[in-house]
Chain A
Amino acid sequence: MQLTEQRVWEALAEIPDPEIPVISVVDLGVVKDVAVKGLRVRIEFTPTFMGCPALETMRSQMEERIRELGAEAQVEVVMDDSWSTDRITPEGREKLREAGFAPPAPRAAGAPTLVQLQSKAFRCPYCGSTETRLDNIFGPTPCRSVRYCESCRQPFEQFKTI
C-alpha cells in the first residue's frame, strides 16, 4: 500500500503528548506540515514552549511512528512564531477540559494581559463557574498557570494563552 499524507496524519494523531497524554501531538497543533515522497516523510514540527522537555520525546516518537509505517522520517524543527495556543484543535481543547485542565483562552484579542488574568473570565473545568481567581501565573510546567475556583473550592490548572 502506498504511504499517503493522510495515513501519516492518522499515525501522528495516535501519539500522545508526553506530559498530558489525553491529547495527541496533532490535537496540540505542533505538526505544521507533512510531505510524503515515496518512503520519505518530512514533518514540520513547530514546538510549543521553548524550554519544554517533552519536545524531544515528541520528536523521537514521531520518528519512531513513521519507522513503524516502513518509512523514514525527517523531522524539521521550525523555531518561528507559528505555534500559538490557538493551534490546539477544538477536540483537543475539549479533551483537556475533561481531564481537568482549563483550555487556553483564544488569543483573538491580542496578547494576554495581567488585568485579563486577574479577571473572572476563566471557567473552572470541574464545575463550570467563572468565579475563579489567579493563584500563580506559573505552574507545574511552563504551559500552565494555577487558578482557584471560589465556587467548588478546587484549585485547577489553566493553560496559558500564548
Chain B
Amino acid sequence: MNERANLLLELADDELILGWRDSEWTGIAPFLEEDVAFSSIAQNEIGHARALYELAARDLGTDADSLAFDRAPEDYRCTPLVELRRLEWARTIARHWLYETADAIRLEALKASGDPEVAGLAAKMDREEIYHRMHAEMWVERLLATDEGRGRLEEAVHELWPYALGVLDDGLRPGFEAIVRERLPFELPDVEPVPRGRHEVELEGLLEEMTMVRRSAPAGAQW
C-alpha cells in the first residue's frame, strides 16, 4: 500500500471510530445541549471519514464502504485513544480535548502538504474542526473552574495521557505535548505512547455493532 493511502486510512479510521464513540452519547448525554453537540460532532467526524475513505479508495481501487466496514479488526489503523469506550463525562471531555488538540496539529501539517488533494481536504475538514476545538476548550475551561471539575479532569487526563501521546507521529508529538503541558494546570508524567497498530479489546464490540447491517444484507441494505 502506498504512503498516501496509508496516511488517509489512519486519519479516516480515527475519525470514523471517534465519530462512532461520540454518537454513543446520542439520547443519553447529561443534558440536551450536549446530546445535540456530540451527535453533531459525530456527524462531522463520520463525514470526514467518508471523504478520506473515498480518496483512499481511489488509490486502492475499492470503495469507501468496503474500507469502512469490511476490513478485519487488526487491519484498522486508528489510534487506540479513539477506541476506548468511556461513557463518563470527564473522560469524554478529556479525550475530546486531547484528540482535537492533536488533530489540529496534524491538520495544520497536512494543509501544508505538497499533495493538493490531501491539503485541500485537510483545509476543508479544519473549517469544521475549529468548532469541535471551541467546544472542547469551553468544557475544559468549565471543568477547571471548580475543584471537583478540576479533580475529575485531572484524573481523566492522567488515565488517557499515554493514549493521547500515541495519536501523532514522532515528528509532531513534541509540539502536542508542549501545548497540553502549557494549557493544563497539573503535572503530567513522561510515559511511553500507546502505539498505533495496537488495539483495545472494546474495538471488537464496536466493529461488531457498526458492521451488523452490512453483514446482514451483503447485497446492500435499502431504506
Binding site for B on A (CB under 8 A): 49-52, 79-81, 83-84, 111-114, 117, 135-142, 146, 160, 162
A51 touches B50 (CB 8 A): yes
A137 touches B128 (CB 8 A): no
B135: contacting residue among A49, A111, A138, CB under 8 A: A138
A139 to B120: give the CA distance in the assembly, Å.
Answer: 26
Q: Does B127 contact A (CB under 8 A)?
A: yes
CB-nearest residue of chain A to B121? A79
A142 touches B130 (CB 8 A): no
A81 to B111: give the CA distance in the assembly, Å.
Answer: 10
CB-nearest residue of chain A to B40? A138
Q: Does B131 contact A (CB under 8 A)?
A: yes
A50 touches B33 (CB 8 A): no
Q: Does B60 contact A (CB under 8 A)?
A: no
Within 8 A of A (CB), among B108-135: 116-117, 120-121, 123-125, 127-128, 130-131, 134-135
A136 touches B37 (CB 8 A): yes
Q: Which residues of B are found within 8 Å of A81, using beta-carbon distances?
A: 120, 123-124, 127
Question: Given A50-B50, A51-B47, A81-B123: A162 and B128 within 8 A (CB)?
Answer: yes
B130 touches A112 (CB 8 A): yes
Q: Which residues of A are found within 8 Å of B130, using beta-carbon distances?
A: 111-112, 162
A50 to B120: give the CA distance in the assembly, Å.
Answer: 13
A51 to B136: give the CA distance in the assembly, Å.
Answer: 20
The 4 residue pairs across chains A and B that have the minimum distance between CB atoms:
A51-B47, A80-B120, A50-B47, A81-B123
Q: Does B51 contact A (CB under 8 A)?
A: yes
Q: Does B48 contact A (CB under 8 A)?
A: yes
Question: Given A81-B123, A81-B127: A49 and B44 within 8 A (CB)?
Answer: yes
Question: Given A142-B43, A160-B131, A162-B128: A136 and B33 within 8 A (CB)?
Answer: yes
Q: Which residues of B are found within 8 Å of A136, using beta-carbon distances?
A: 33, 36-37
